[in-house]
Amino acid sequence: MLYISLIICFVVSILLSLIAKRSAMTIEETDKPENKFHKTVIPSLGGLAIIISFIAGISIVSPNFTYTIPIIIGATIIAITGVLAERFQLTVKWKFIGQTIAALVVIVWGGVQVSSIYTLQGGYIEFGYLTIPLTLVWIIGITNGINLSPSLDGLAKGVSTIALITMTLMAYITGDSFVANTGGLLIASTLGFLLVSSYSPKILIGDKTSFFLGFMIAVLSISGFNNVMMIYIPAYILGVPIVLHYYLLGKGFTFKQTVSICCSIAAIFSLGAFIFSTSIMWGAIIILTVIFVSSQFLSKYRFI
């Protein structure tokens, strides 16, 4: 059933992306070229293909799993928030309200919570009463992490796919069937869209899907890992390339060059998740964080 659902997600995503590309121009669901890195009006409805195909797939594979219904409802709320944000230019306050409601659905109803995390010494820290607030901050933070700039559409697709592949493979290795299956369906849906879009922005994912991908990566990182990977995957596979793109564009690199470099860096960070032990990963997180933060005080090496 999983293999059939993967094929369904992939094919449906392609078909819906093609349909969305044509219909978005008709209903004026487009991304204007002002202040963007493309020079023409481009359909921004295509990201719904990822969302719809994924929801169809997960409904087939895991209809009775504890997390399934809350995740579908949370993802739908996120998508609606993104659609309204694009259509009516909603302020940050209204986006935050929509994201908070979606996050609370999976946290309170679905029980997707980060209640503890393993430490460098092999023990773990319990969060206690801070569990729900910290989980809420985590989900909202990652949800917005890949939607910081209108120029990030191609980069968001690339690094999100790399992060999803990393989490899915790690979940498969550790025997977490829900995260492995859900991640696989997301990858199939995203790859279908990427075939239609690729680096050249023939059709954009828009806010609705940037929020959705960030939301799902945040939820899956909590669902499957309570160790260092929960921090490492979103922070470095997603965060570093997205922040680095500002620096590269400022140095004169083209958009395609920037996306290629940043996705390559994300892939390198992804390999580290499989090669190194937990203790080494904790050390890498600490060292990279110190280097990154310190660089922001030196104008010569600033990324942002």
pLDDT number for residue 199: 47
Q: Which one, of 95, 4, 14, lies nearest residue 52 by Cα?
A: 14
Res. 246: pLDDT tops 90:
no
DSSP labels for 3-60?
HHHHHHHHHHHHHHHHHHHHHHHHTT-EE--TTSS-SS-EE--THHHHHHHHHHHHHH
Q: Are 240 and 265 contacting, i.e. CB atoms less than 8 angstroms apart?
A: yes
Q: What single-letter DSSP state applies at residue 128?
A: G
pLDDT in tens, 174-222: 888 889 999 999 999 999 888 887 644 555 656 667 889 999 999 998 8
Q: Are 29 and 43 contacting, i.e. CB atoms less than 8 angstroms apart?
A: yes
Token readout for 221 is 């990182």
pLDDT in tens, 4-57: 999 999 999 999 888 876 765 444 444 444 444 444 444 455 578 889 999 999
Residues facing 42 on adjacent strands? 31
pTM attached to this predicted model: 0.86
Q: What value does the mean pLDDT take over residues 157-185?
A: 90
